[in-house]
Structure 1
Amino acid sequence: MVMFRLRLLFFQFVLASCVFAKNNVCKSFSDYWYHDLDKNENCTYNPDMYLDSPQILEKYFGKYEVHEIPTEDGYFVTTFRVPRNNSRGTILFRHIATSDAIIWLGFGKDSIAYYYWQRGYELWLTNTRGTDYSTKHVNLTINDYAFWNFSFHEIGIYDLRASLKYIYEFNNNTSPAIIANSMGCTEALIYASLFPEEAKKLCKIYILHAPPSSFQYSPLKFLGFYRRYWDYSAKEEKLGDIFRRNGTISRVMHSLCPKKPDLCITLFSAFGAGWSQHEPDPLLAPVMFMQNPRSLSTKALSHYAQSFISGKFTMFDYGEKNFEVYGRHEPPEYPVWKIVAPIYLVHSPADYLAPKGDTDDLYDKLTKSAKIYGRLVVEGMNHIDTFLAKLRNEKIHYKNTEVPGNSTEIYLTLTTQVASARTTAEDNFHTAVQR
């Protein structure tokens, strides 16, 4: 009883401290526990927290286009194009699970999309099937259980494939580069392994941040044992997706996480992202939590749970129907050793969902032609620090700074070793995109 009352008092304190203040972002996580954020000089108001992707595109990029790309299996993938005069190249951004294009755009001038657009690149930002802007199908609606009968496998061989073909033709047979994170990497690996020559033709380089494939070395393998229960519940309740914007989970997250972002970051770290104590940016975390999550199919979640159990990067396991689907009793492994397109891996040992052992195995399986640009191992960053880390540009996106009298020089603020790795990685990236 005493413990119950203590917990109740704690949550009452949390709710009481979540007063309706105008200020919504602070310079440190401890500032969010200050009773009145409006009286805290370390806190301010960020209006971008409540904007959607089109509003952010209009506010910071000005000109943008909306393209509805049809897939071979009847879905329509809405993709935002941000043109650039005399562009250095074209980049297709592939987002994480439980998000859409907003993950690349949501921080305005601090966003990754803005970073590359300012450096002269034309941008294409995909919203995969089932997310807020890609809910159209030739004869199904998002309220139909059959609409959600897809995993990241179908997203890779249909959505990604259709997007690359569309952009290639739109840009007069010029191929883009891809920057992907998390599930976007899984989709890219699937496509590039099953259509190796086409994947090489349609994309100059696949830059994969925190790439989940197998989970043999993940400390979260225990999550796989919930797959049977999860599949049964989803089938019985006709639950095709989770994390829909107006759903219960999303409403709870939007009520708590933007106001107490450190609590939610701790949960994310423990159950997926991994630990990076000094990396999360307190000014950005509440914005990300308010803008996300977005819908994820239950089949995709089941597919990942399957990999937690097997420790292998395989196609979806249909159980007794495997022989009917694949002509064999076990689902086949994705043949990543057949990839011939350049694959540039960016990963960290602190990442639980793309652990070092699994990423090393993936890298070892790639052919020499796929590894021509090498890889970048980033210390001390977790699964979502590509977007959220204070040093995300310096460590990953290779921050360029305008130096008076010597334009676009590399701003060397880190150690010689890290700065050297950053410069080499940026050279590789720009060389590949402009080839």
Structure 2
Amino acid sequence: MEVADSVTCILLLILFCGSAAGNRKALYSFKAQENAIAMAPSSDNGICKSMVETHGYDCEEHTVTTQDGYILSMQRIPVGRSGGTPGNRPPVLLQHGILMDGITWLLLPPEQSLAFVLSDNGYDVWIANSRGTKYSKGHKSLSPKDPAYWDWSWDELVAYDLPATFQYIYDQTGQKLHYVGHSQGILIALAALSKDQLLNMLRSAALLCPIAYMGQMTSPLAKNAADNFIAEAVYWLGLSEFDPRGDAVVNLLKDICSKPGIDCTNLLTSFTGQNCCLNSSIVNIFLDHEPQPSATKNMVHLAQSK
């Protein structure tokens, strides 16, 4: 059974990798569940319009340009839904994990989504989106179609993205910031905070699911991918973008999830490991936004950290 599970995970990942250059399509349509409909984005006009303002919150779109030319999207929720005075609230930066983007902090209803909860409790909330994700694909001279655009790993997130993001928020607010990171967001913080530049702008840090080494992962798919050097194989095949949202995967998952008796919440545990907070009412919303692309080089670098 263990061997069969391993082979299944590897085959699934190969499908993901083989679809790396595929078109990004929504994996699922939204089902008629009230709480799911309330969370569904109304358009593709950006995170503020599609995921924040629909819940009655003010939201600002910001962009940050890194020293190596990447243009990153950030969203700011300056006050809670009940209003208040912007500008004098302590800023908090939310940094997502690997193969995700800033929407991960907004997928649940407002009373359960960390970004909204913090905003309603007096914080000036800033949401980061790492390079290569849907809303951070800009660059001063490169296109995402260029292999050179994807020539980075989490080393560059440490050297360029996080410092640029910290500095921008500090300049905008004049205050030291709280930092909340998840997964890769912790890895890059632990590395970047070894520099005095960021420490001098930091008030506190909360580490959610911190990672430094991959050996203790609970995701069967990710663990088998790392153990069997799948990312290295994809890299040597010349696929610079690691995009899990291509046609092959979309069609496979649509077919699997349409079968009677198939619970796609359980299917997702192959990717996330055991997850207390995924349920059938939000799984369609989750799959409409995640996973997000990353650089294959980044996946190789992560896989080497055992």
- Is the contact made by 1:253 and 1:289 (CA closer than 8 Å) also made in structure 2? no
C-alpha distance after superposition, 1:392-434 (max 9, x if no partner)? xxxxxxxxxxxxxxxxxxxxxxxxxxxxxxxxxxxxxxxxxxx
State the Cα distance separating 1:64 from its structure 2 match: 1.8
Matched, 1:204 2:232: no
State the Cα distance separating 1:216 from its structure 2 match: 4.0
Which runs of no fewer than 5 residues in structure 1 stay unpaired?
1-19, 26-42, 312-435
- Which residue of 269, 294, 303 maps to 1:296? 294
C-alpha distance after superposition, 1:167-217 (max 9, x if no partner)? 111112x11111111111111112113x1x222211111211001111344
Q: In the alignment, residue 297 of structure 1 is paired with which amino acid?
A: A
Match of 2:32 in 1: 24
- Which residue of 57, 62, 71 maps to 1:67? 62
Question: The residue matched to 2:165 in structure 1 has which SS?
Answer: helix
Larger relative contact order (CA 8 Å, sep ≥ 6) = 2
Which runs of no fewer than 5 residues in structure 2 stay unpaired?
1-27, 80-84
CA distance 1:121–1:297, shift in 2 (3 Å): same
Larger Rg, first or second structure (1 or 2): 1
Match of 2:37 in 1: 46
Q: Give the Cα separation in 2 of the matches to 1:115 and 1:226.
A: 40
State the Cα distance separating 1:149 from its structure 2 match: 0.9
Q: Give the Cα separation in 2 of the matches to 1:189 and 1:255.
A: 41
Match of 2:19 in 1: none
* Identity across the alignment (%): 24
Q: In the alignment, residue 275 of structure 1 is paired with which amino acid?
A: Q
Q: What is the aligned-residue RMSD (CA, Å)?
A: 3.0
Q: Give the Cα separation in 1 of the matches to 2:273 and 2:31.
A: 29
Alignment of 1:92-107 (within 5 A): 92-107=93-108
Match of 2:127 in 1: 125
Q: Give the Cα separation in 1 of the matches to 2:206 and 2:37.
A: 31
Match of 1:266 in 2: 266
Alignment of 1:324-335 (within 5 A): none
Matched, 1:89 2:110: no
Q: How many residues align?
A: 265
C-alpha distance after superposition, 1:13-66 (max 9, x if no partner)? xxxxxxx998433xxxxxxxxxxxxxxxxx776153344523222212442222
Match of 1:159 in 2: 161
Match of 1:283 in 2: 281
C-alpha distance after superposition, 1:104-138 (max 9, x if no partner)? 11224232211111111111111111111111112
Q: Give the Cα separation in 1 of the matches to 2:157 and 2:268.
A: 25
Question: The residue matched to 1:99 in structure 2 has which SS?
Answer: coil
Question: The residue matched to 1:73 in structure 2 has which SS?
Answer: coil
Question: The residue matched to 1:205 in structure 2 has which SS?
Answer: strand
The TM-score normalised by the length of structure 2 is 0.76
Alignment of 1:8-407 (within 5 A): 23-25=31-33, 46-51=37-42, 53-54=47-48, 55-84=50-79, 85=85, 87-109=88-110, 110-172=112-174, 174-193=175-194, 195=195, 197-218=196-217, 222-227=224-229, 229-244=230-245, 247-250=247-250, 252-253=252-253, 263-269=263-269, 271-276=270-275, 279-307=277-305, 311=306
Q: Give the Cα separation in 2 of the matches to 1:107 and 1:171.
A: 27
Question: The residue matched to 1:223 in structure 2 has which SS?
Answer: helix
- Is the contact made by 1:148 and 1:241 (CA closer than 8 Å) also made in structure 2? no
Match of 1:318 in 2: none
